[in-house]
Amino acid sequence: MNPLRYLLFPWWLAELATGAKAFSDNPLIGSPTLNRWGLHVGRVRLAAALARSRRRRLSALVSTEERAAFERDGFVMKRDFLPPEEFARLRAEALAYKGPAREMVQGDTITRRMALDPAALDAMPRVRALVHGAKWRGLMRYVGSFDSEPIGYIQTILAQVNDREPDPQTALHADTFHATVKAFYFLTDVAEDEGPFVYVPGSHRMTPRRLGWEKERSLRARDGLDRLSSRGSLRIGQEELAGLGLPAPKAFAVPANTLVVADTSGFHARGPSVRPSIRVEIWTYGRRNPFLPWTGLDLLSLPGIAERRANWMWAARDRFRAWLGQPWRDAGLKSPATPATQDAGG
C-alpha cells in the first residue's frame, strides 16, 4: 500500500459512522482483523436497532395490517393499488411520456430510467399525484425508516437484448448492510419467467444466523468474493438460505397495478427471463445514513431539491467520470416502452 494512502485515515474512520459499505474501498471496513473482532457485525446490529426505533415513530403512517406484513416478510404488496379506471389513465399517461432517458447495460439486460423531475411531473400529473399521495409516502417512509422524500423514476427493464453473460442482478443479494427502501409499481403485467422482482421473505431481519453469515462474509469480502460483494452488496446462493432459516425466494409474478415496497437489505434479485421481455414500473428508492437517530431533518427532501436529485447525480457523474465512473449513458429522448437499440451491447 502506498504510504501516502494513510493520509486518508481520518476519512476512512469517519466513514464508519455513515452508510459506506464497500469492503474494497475502505481498509477499515474491509479489514479481516477488525471484522473478526466484530466491526462489520457491530455496524449491522446498530443500524438495525436504530431502524427499528425510527419505524416505531413512523408507525402511524401505515395500517396495522401493513406493519404486520412488513415485520413478517420485509415487504408490503398491494394489488389493485389504484381503482381500475384511475390506473388505466395513469398507465396511458406514463407510457405515452417521452423525455430524457438514461440506460445502463448489465450483462444481457438494459435498465432504462427516466427521472421524475419537475418537467416529467408537470407532464404526468397523475404520476405526480401517485408519488405524492399519502399511501405511497407512508409506505416509503415506514419501510425505509426515515421521513424523507425518495428519488423517483419511470424504470424499464429490457431483458435478453444481446448475447452477453446473464444479468448480474439475477443473483440473490442484499443492497447494503442497513435498512433501505425500494418501491415497484408495475405498469405492465409481470410473468414468472420474464424477469420478475424476487425477494426472500423474512430476510430483512438481522437474526443470529444472519449476523453469523454477515461476519463470515465480512472476513473474505475484500479479496475473496465476487466484485459486487466486495463493493458491499453481498451475494448469497439459494442453497444457503435454509441454513439461515429462510424460505425459498418469492417471485412477484403479478398483474399491472400492483405495488411492492421492500427493504432491500433483505435478499432479493431480478428473476431470470427466458425470452426478450420488457417490464415497466414507477420506481422510487430511499437510503440515508443508517446511524442517524432521528427520522426527519433531511434537506434533500425539500421541495425544489428533492425532485432534482436524480439529474444532479447523473450530471455529477458525467462531469467527474474519471473519478466517480458513469454507468448511465445518455439515451436521448425515449418513451418507457421504446425497444432496445441495436447497440445494446455497448
CA pseudo-torsion sign 290, 291, 297, 300? negative
Query: Is residue 334 in some structural domain?
Result: no
Q: Which residue has the higher pLDDT, 4 or 276?
A: 276
Which residues have C-beta within 8 Å of that of residue 273, sequence separation ≥ 6? 109, 159, 160, 193, 194, 195
CATH number, domain containing residue 127: 2.60.120.620
- In terms of residue numbers, what domain contains 218? 11-289+296-325
Q: How many residues does the chain have?
A: 346
Which residues have C-beta within 8 Å of that of residue 20, sequence separation ≥ 6? 26, 29, 232
Number of domains, the chain: 1
Could you report the per-residue pLDDT of 246-266, keeping only the tens digit for each? 999 999 999 999 999 999 999
The pLDDT score that the predictor gives to residue 150 is 96
- Taking all residues of the chain, what is their mean pLDDT, rounded to a whole number? 94
Q: Please give the sequence-ordered ranges of beta strands (E in DSSP) within 28-160, or none if there are none.
A: 75-78, 99-106, 109-115, 151-159
The pLDDT score that the predictor gives to residue 197 is 96
Query: Is residue 105 in some structural domain?
Result: yes
344 pLDDT more than 60: no
Query: Is residue 150 in some structural domain?
Result: yes
| Distance of alpha carbon 99 from the chain centroid | 23
The pLDDT score that the predictor gives to residue 4 is 66
The pLDDT score that the predictor gives to residue 3 is 66
Average pLDDT over residues 36-59: 98
Provide, for the chain, the percentages of residues in helix, strand and coil under a 3-state DSSP scheme, each rounded to the nearest 5.
40, 20, 40
Query: Is residue 193 in some structural domain?
Result: yes
Could you report the per-residue pLDDT of 273-283, keeping only the tens digit for each? 999 999 999 99
Q: What share of the chain in percent tops pLDDT 70?
A: 97
Average pLDDT over residues 323-330: 90
Average pLDDT over residues 157-181: 92
Query: Is residue 256 in some structural domain?
Result: yes
Band (346; pLDDT cuts 50, 70, 90): very low
The pLDDT score that the predictor gives to residue 239 is 96
Cell numbers describing residue 7: 493520509
Band (1; pLDDT cuts 50, 70, 90): low
Query: Is residue 2 in some structural domain?
Result: no
Q: What share of the chain in percent tops pLDDT 90?
A: 87
Query: Is residue 1 in some structural domain?
Result: no
The pLDDT score that the predictor gives to residue 142 is 98
138 pLDDT more than 50: yes
Which residues have C-beta within 8 Å of that of residue 245, sequence separation ≥ 6? 207, 209
Query: Is residue 340 in some structural domain?
Result: no
